[in-house]
Amino acid sequence: MSSITAAHFPSPLRPHESAAIPTSKLPQKTILKFFDTKSVTSLQYLSQVHGLVLRSGHFQDHYVSGALLKCYANPHFSNLDFALKVFSSIPNPNVFIWNIVIKGCVENNKPFEAIYFYGRMVTDARPNKFTYPTLFKACSVTQADQEGRQIHGHVVRHGLGSDMHIRSAGIQMYASFGSLEDAFQLFDNGESDVVCWNTMIDGYMKFGDLEAAKGLFERMPTRNTGSWNVMINGFAKGGKLDDARKVFDEMSERDEITWSSMVDGYVSAGCYKEALEIFHQMQREKIGPGRFILSSVLAACSSIGAVDQGRWVHAYLKRNSIKLDAVLGTALLDMYAKCGRLDMAWEVFEEVEEREVFTWNAMIGGLAIHGRAEDALELFSKMQKGRLKPNGITLVGVLSACAHAGLVDKGLRIFENMKEFYGIEPEMEHYGCVVDLLGRSGLFSEAEVLISSMPMKPNAAVWGALLGACKIHGNVELAERVGTILLELEPHNSGRYALLSNIYAKAGRFDDVAKIRKKMKERGIKTLPGVSTVDLNGTVHEFKMGDGSHPLMKEIYSMLEKIKERLQMAGYSPDTSQVLFDIEEEEKESALQYHSEKLAIAFGLINTLPGKTIHIVKNLRVCDDCHLAMKLISQIYNREIIVRDRVRYHHFRNGTCSCRDFW
């Protein structure tokens, strides 16, 4: 590496000082004062300080050159290569300098380089207790098992094995290798502080040894809040939410990490109502939520359509002057988009000042899933004009928008030019979008040709998109072939059986419906029950067919009878072709009447003011009969009804649906 001289840098930042005192006479104390917060935020400022250090002659001073090196190695600058050039110019670096280089490599995501520099260091300087925690971390990240064990040997040889920081880092390293016996041996070899205990418990948790973690937790001489949090976080990540909740309930004191771990655990497990219940408990205890937990709460709101709770979070952010950064702003706009409030999603998007690619992706994807293809494409164009490079997720959103709007030529053009224009190699998700695009438009031959030309083996999602298109267009012959492939790929996915049997039923092929049902019975496949939720004033109301537990069920059934009468007056006739039960026609009509989304609509009509939009979230596809009924209900009652089913969003307004009857 070439040496760096003063000629490489501009004049110092404060020329009046250097003019008053010759730079060669500036004392060390004065030089060190220049290494303030600006030195780690402004590269221009740091360059000027560098020039001053070189002119003053203090670069030979390890304390000064180390401070300079530490600033250059700050990950804020993402300029480790230059930091290493500076390091190469420092004569006879001591342990202080070497430690800065090793730590800088790890902080700049260059862990292999950290291990390499340690190898050079041991020939020139004696490592100290600050060297090893960073090195153990580097070995953990790179899974450098052999090197980690050698470095541990050096720790023992240098007599540093009793240092608690080194021990906890070593325990964590061995645990990351899955070497829990070695981790425990290090933990058990001498006195351990609470950090070592927590690290060992966390290691057991991460590798699923819950009994060992519990045993160690119960043996702890002193448990602080952090120890309880390790248990909660470990149980939650391992899907043991009942155990996590038990620990949570036993705690006498909880901090923000405690609440966040519990909420995030429920969200990760798909228990969104429980996540919001914990958040409500947190509010009752008057604990101010931080950014991380608010992001998790917004994710829960997104999943079950709890827009009122999401709006509370938005109001809380405004009330407490919490700035919408890219992460929190994206979570908020995603919540609004998934709850059907695109107007509010757009408002939040405009409010986020520093938008990252994922912020644009969320807004483009939100517009796409609501069928607003032209708006999604316009925003995509605006994103490119702003010189922000789209990524693979961006293109999934754009292609999905084209698919839902039937923009075949535009979608194909974008797909065919992905690599040339955007530098993105098409992946499975992109092929799935284009298969969906072609299939929805009835271009089955083209879709099959595309699938056969894929550079990777098509997965169930790709074939599923084609099967969905077969349902739309009634292509039973192709559905049979695709269905056979899908049932081999996903023999336990009840949705695939249901969709194929619906296609047969719609074509009047009830013998084939019976065969599908028989196959399901033989394989022990059970269909998921339909569940619809409505968020009303911050409370999520859940409805299932045949479940009469809701306190207003009597009023709901009464309202359903009135709806039925008005639908019949409007010429509605129930579509019973897809009711897969051996029952009489009259009973089939009754079964359709009590589908979960119809129960949710009746509840919404009873409990909201005339003209107010009704928002419903359903866990399965909306059936043909409910889709037809909701179109008529929107017209009869002059209501907009927004339904998010497993496949897409439906905006029912004045007797029509935004999906154009393709879903």
What is the structure's pLDDT at 12?
A: 38
Q: Considering the domain boundaries, does residue 592 fall inside one? A: yes
Domain that holds residue 573: 531-657
Q: What is the pTM of this model?
A: 0.74
Q: How many CB atoms lie within 10 A of CB 591?
A: 18
DSSP class per residue in 127-193 = --TTTHHHHHHHHHHHT-HHHHHHHHHHHHHTT-TT-HHHHHHHHHHHHHHT-HHHHHHHHHSS---
pLDDT digits (tens, 9 = 90+) for 519-529: 999 999 988 88
What is the structure's pLDDT at 349?
A: 96
Mean pLDDT check: name the lowest of 438-447, 555-564, 569-578.
Answer: 569-578
What is the structure's pLDDT at 577?
A: 61
Write out the E strands in 508-645.
531-536, 539-544, 614-618, 641-644
Q: How many CB atoms lie within 10 A of CB 233?
A: 22
Q: Considering the domain boundaries, does residue 429 fall inside one? A: no
What gap in Å lies between CA 620 and CA 627, rounded to an integer? 13
CA dihedral sign of residues 356, 360, 363, 366: negative
The residue written with tokens 């644009």 in the block is 360
Q: Considering the domain boundaries, does residue 376 fall inside one? A: no
What is the structure's pLDDT at 374?
A: 93
pLDDT digits (tens, 9 = 90+) for 361-419: 999 999 998 989 999 999 999 999 888 899 999 999 999 999 988 899 999 999 999 99
**Highest mean pLDDT (candidates 118-132, 182-196, 209-223):** 118-132
Contact at 8 Å (CB) between 172 and 203?
yes
Residue 552 pLDDT > 80, yes or no? yes
What is the count of structural domains for the chain? 1
Taking residues 291-297, report their average pLDDT.
92
Half-sphere exposure (CA, 13 Å, Cβ side) for 26?
A: 28
Q: Tell me the two tokens of residue 398.
A: 């754009």
What gap in Å lies between CA 239 and CA 234, rounded to an integer? 9
Q: Considering the domain boundaries, does residue 542 fall inside one? A: yes
Q: Considering the domain boundaries, does residue 563 fall inside one? A: yes
**Highest mean pLDDT (candidates 193-207, 423-437, 621-635):** 423-437
Percent of the chain with pLDDT over 90: 56
What is the structure's pLDDT at 227?
A: 81
Q: Considering the domain boundaries, does residue 565 fall inside one? A: yes
Top pLDDT among 574 and 116 is at 116
Q: Considering the domain boundaries, does residue 280 fall inside one? A: no
How many Å is the Cα radius of gyration of the chain? 31
Residue 579 pLDDT > 70, yes or no? no
Residue 14 pLDDT > 80, yes or no? no
**pLDDT confidence tier of residue 214, bands split at 50, 70 and 90:** confident
Q: Considering the domain boundaries, does residue 229 fall inside one? A: no
